[in-house]
Every structure is written in C-alpha cells, then in structure tokens.
Structure 1
Amino acid sequence: MKFQPLGKRVLVEREEETKTTASGIIIPDNASKEKPSSGKIVAVGKECEDVEVGDTVVFAKYAGSEVSIDEKKYLILNLEDVLGKLK
C-alpha cells in the first residue's frame, strides 16, 4: 500500500535502537523503554520543501501519530515537529 501525507506532513520510519553499547555491552530490552526520536523519511507531503524521502531526521519526543501500514509501524509528523536532518 502506498501512503501520501497531505500538506506539510511526513511519514517517518523510526530507527531501531542500538541494543549494544560501543564497548560491546548488551542492553536488555526492559532497560530501554524510550522510543528513538530519529528516523528515516519514507514519504513527504506536496508542501514539504526542506526534506525529502531518504533523509534521516530528528523529531520532537512526543510528536506525531503512530500508524500501521502493511503490518509495519510508522509515525506521521507535521513538518514543524522535525527538528533537523542528520548528515
């Protein structure tokens, strides 16, 4: 199924959390309850000029609405909730 956000909205797939630290310590699932606040843009609305599909962005912690499309979870964000792009 294809999804096209309307207006100044983007569809974001959250990045998976790293389950190990840089030194190789494994972090158990119950220790990391917070969802990541960065992800990859999968679709953009027609009014979005600052971002494009494929950009990795950081967004506000409690922003957006979660949706399931084809049994996969995504986040619909207003463009103003995107804080910046990672390069």
Structure 2
Amino acid sequence: MAKRLIPSLNRVLVEKIIPPSKTTAGILLPEKSSKLNSGKVVAVGPGTHDLSGNKIPVGVKEGDTVLLPEYGGTEVKLGEKEYHLYRDEDILGTLHD
C-alpha cells in the first residue's frame, strides 16, 4: 500500500527536480551545470490562520514548479521516493514557461 502525506498547516511537500547528468547524445554534464534548485509541488497543507482567525491559504498548489532555497526543508522518504517538506514562506517563487 502506497503512503500519501498531507502536510499540516502551511507546509508544502515537494519532489526536487534533479537535472540530467548527461545529454541525450551522451555528453556528461558537470554537476553544477544547472544552478536552479527547483521542485514539483506534490501536496499542500490547508493553510494557517492569522490572529483574527482568518484563514491564510498556501500560496502554491499541487503541480506547481517552485524555486527552492539552497538550504532548508525537512527530508521525507515515502516508499522509495524522497521528498522535502517546506513552509509556504520558505518557497522563493513559482517557475513558469
């Protein structure tokens, strides 16, 4: 049975995007060829509340490609896959084509 994690409050579960280590032609790429630290949002929490009790929704949604900080996040392993859990405010932005 596959496990699914639903983040609590304003947390976001992200699967990091690992850039390819070689091109389709077989040319090996340097490890730091892509400086973007990005990931795909897998799940989001329901949000949090301000002091007045108003709900503050999470700023990203499932399926978004996001820019992540170089450090931070909590590593989570579900089955064979590795994910990272971030707070909504730690995510630097969303990436669009």
The structure 1 segments of at least 4 consecutive aligned residues displaced by more than 6 Å after TM superposition are none
Counterpart check, 1:32 vs 2:31: yes
Unaligned ranges ≥5, structure 2: 48-56
Mapping for residues 1-87 of structure 1, pairs under 5 Å? 1-20=3-22, 25-27=27-29, 32=31, 37-47=37-47, 48-87=57-96
CA distance in 2, matches of 1:38, 1:63: 13
**Across the two proteins, how many residue pairs are aligned to each other?**
83
Length-normalised TM-score, structure 2: 0.74
Unaligned ranges ≥5, structure 1: none
Length-normalised TM-score, structure 1: 0.81
Look at both structures and tell me which one has the larger radius of gyration over its CA atoms: 2
**Alignment identity in percent?**
43
